[in-house]
């Protein structure tokens, strides 16, 4: 029961962190959705809209989304995106 309450608190904190960068994502036609927070405290995200298919999504993920969450919610141990577009090399 306590684990469910903790997960809800973490989810609220993660959503607040994402809300701080969502205006920037939405400017380019994108967004991000939290799919899960695992027992290992890994946030599983889905990049939506333009963010889901953008060749720069890996940079947006690392430089914006991941940093915003890790800075705001230090209890989170990792972040994964289920549909991250690999950068063209």
pLDDT in tens, the chain (89 residues): 677 888 999 999 999 999 999 998 888 888 999 999 999 999 999 988 877 666 666 777 777 889 999 999 999 999 998 887 665 43
Is 52 within the bounds of a domain? yes
Cα separations in angstroms, 15 against 27, 62, 88: 18, 17, 30
Helix (H) or strand (E) holding 30: strand 30-37
Q: Which own/partner contact pairs does 26-30 have at CB distance under 8 Å and 24+ positions apart? A: 28/54, 30/54, 30/60
pLDDT of res. 88: 42
Number of domains in the chain: 1
**Residue 38 placed within a domain:** yes
pTM: 0.84
In a domain, 88, yes or no: no
CATH number at residue 72: 3.30.300.130
Residue 76 to residues 11, 55, 60, 68, 85: CA-CA distances in angstroms? 10, 26, 19, 11, 23
Is residue 10 situated within a structural domain?
Answer: yes
Q: Which range of residues forms the domain containing residue 31?
A: 1-81
User: 45 to each of 1, 4, 14, 34, how far by Cα in Å?
Assistant: 24, 19, 11, 5
2 domain-assigned: yes
Q: What is the pLDDT of residue 63?
A: 77
């Amino acid at each position: 029961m306590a684990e469910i309450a903790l997960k809800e608190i973490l989810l609220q904190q993660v959503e607040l962190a994402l809300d701080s960068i969502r205006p920037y994502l939405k400017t380019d036609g994108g967004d991000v959705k939290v799919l899960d927070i695992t027992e290992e405290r890994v946030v599983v995200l889905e990049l939506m809209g333009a963010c889901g298919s953008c060749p720069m999504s890996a940079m947006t993920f690392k430089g914006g989304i991941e940093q915003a969450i890790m800075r705001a919610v230090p209890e989170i141990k990792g972040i994964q995106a289920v549909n991250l577009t690999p950068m063209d090399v």
